[in-house]
């Protein structure tokens, strides 16, 4: 709104001068974005080329949609797209439930001191790299030494080598992801609960509402708008994969690809195998799908709650 006042009229000399000096501040940032973000965007032409490193990008032959066709007619397309979407949907469903639940637990905690301690511990995984995460998961799942197989053999069974059991990985990865991320995402809901009117809760209690009823009829309705926004924002990221989680934690075991290979790990492997054109094509598909999702979900948010739009 403030911008509009200056926008319509011709800028005075002073405004120009000021803008020039402010623009100067932006120059290093602009140059870096140009070099490392905008120039690579032109590289997407590789997706339409039969790229040969020796011939270079411009020298390589055009091949139309061949790289895309190759990917979309292969088993890999079904597998990676299905995995990317299904995991993200699972993360949204379980992540929302877990972080709302955790926020409610935090909210009912009376001791500030305890809250701080619990909170610090639960947020800690955010400081860990995916590599360390892989270590921690292996402590549980190692075939010979892992805690899980020890427990199983203590109970009289024999545990399998989990790193060869694709069926187990949707659970393992979802649990790992939840372990790592609910701490931070619960903070958003907790912050929202802090703004809940205490009198409303007292009134509900006076009317005889028990804890479950208070949660169901007072707290959850209070959180609903925040939940909706968070879910929509996450839906916008449906095609974005957590490369660290999916590459490090399953330790890149080929046997596990059916349930652990996502678009990001696929493009990475294609790059490492030297299939640069195919990797670019799949990456481009992911970028475009992601762009559509973000713009789409943003349009929805604009209708639901304009103050939460991204742009």
Residues 137-140: contacts with CB under 8 Å, at least 24 apart = 137/172, 137/176, 137/249, 138/251
How many chain residues bind another protein (CB under 8 A)? 99
Tell me if 227 contacts another protein by CB under 8 A: no
Residue 62: CB minimum distance to another protein, A: 17
Query: In the numeric block, which tokens belong to residue 113?
Result: 């001191």
Residue (123 or 231) nearer to another protein, CB? 123
**Does 208 engage in binding with another protein (CB under 8 A)?**
no
Q: Is 310 in the site for another protein (CB under 8 A)?
A: yes
Q: Which of residues 95-124 bind another protein (CB under 8 A)?
A: 105, 108-111, 114, 118, 120-124
Residue among 42 and 73 whose Cβ is closer to another protein: 42
CB of 66 to another protein, least distance (A): 16
State the nearest-atom distance from the C-beta of 110 to another protein, in Å. Answer: 6
Binding-site string for another protein from residue 138 to residue 177, where x marks contact by CB under 8 A and - marks none? xxx-x-xxxx-xx---------------------------
Please report where in the chains the tokens 């501040």 appear, as a residue. Answer: 25
267 near another protein (CB under 8 A): yes
Other residues' Cβ atoms within 10 Å of the Cβ of residue 200: 14
Quick one: which of 77, 55, 56, 80 has its CA closest to 67? 77
Q: How far is the CB of 251 from another protein (least distance, A)?
A: 6
* 84 is a contact residue toward another protein (CB under 8 A): no
Q: Of 13, 28, 113, 195, which lies in the binding site for another protein, with binding defined by CB under 8 A?
A: 28
Can you tell me which of 13, 25, 62, 75 binds another protein, judged by CB under 8 A? 25
């Amino acid at each position: 709104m403030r911008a509009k006042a200056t926008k319509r009229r011709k800028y005075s000399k002073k405004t120009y001068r000021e803008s020039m000096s402010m623009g100067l501040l932006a120059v290093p940032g602009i140059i870096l974005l140009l070099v490392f973000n905008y120039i690579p965007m032109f590289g997407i032409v590789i997706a339409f080329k039969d790229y040969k490193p020796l011939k270079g990008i411009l020298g390589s032959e055009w091949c139309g949609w061949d790289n895309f066709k190759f990917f979309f007619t292969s088993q890999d397309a079904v597998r990676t797209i299905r995995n990317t979407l299904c995991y993200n949907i699972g993360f949204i469903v379980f992540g929302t439930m877990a972080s709302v639940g955790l926020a409610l637990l935090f909210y009912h905690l009376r001791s500030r001191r305890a809250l701080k301690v619990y909170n610090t511990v639960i947020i800690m995984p955010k400081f860990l790299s995916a590599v360390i995460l892989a270590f921690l998961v292996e402590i549980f799942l190692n075939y010979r030494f892992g805690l899980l197989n020890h427990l199983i053999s203590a109970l009289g069974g024999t545990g399998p080598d989990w790193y060869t059991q694709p069926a187990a990985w949707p659970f393992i990865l979802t649990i790992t992801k939840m372990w790592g991320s609910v701490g931070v995402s619960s903070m958003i809901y907790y912050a929202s609960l802090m703004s809940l009117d205490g009198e409303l809760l007292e009134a509900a209690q006076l009317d005889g509402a028990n804890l479950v009823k208070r949660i169901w009829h007072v707290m959850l309705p209070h959180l609903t708008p925040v939940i909706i926004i968070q879910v929509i924002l996450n839906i916008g990221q449906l095609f974005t994969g957590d490369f660290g989680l999916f590459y490090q934690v399953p330790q890149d075991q080929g046997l596990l690809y059916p349930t652990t290979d996502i678009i990001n790990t696929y493009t990475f492997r294609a790059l490492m195998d030297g299939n640069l054109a195919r990797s670019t094509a799949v990456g481009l598909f992911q970028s475009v799908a992601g762009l559509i999702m973000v713009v789409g979900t943003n349009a929805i948010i604009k209708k639901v709650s304009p103050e939460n739009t991204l742009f």
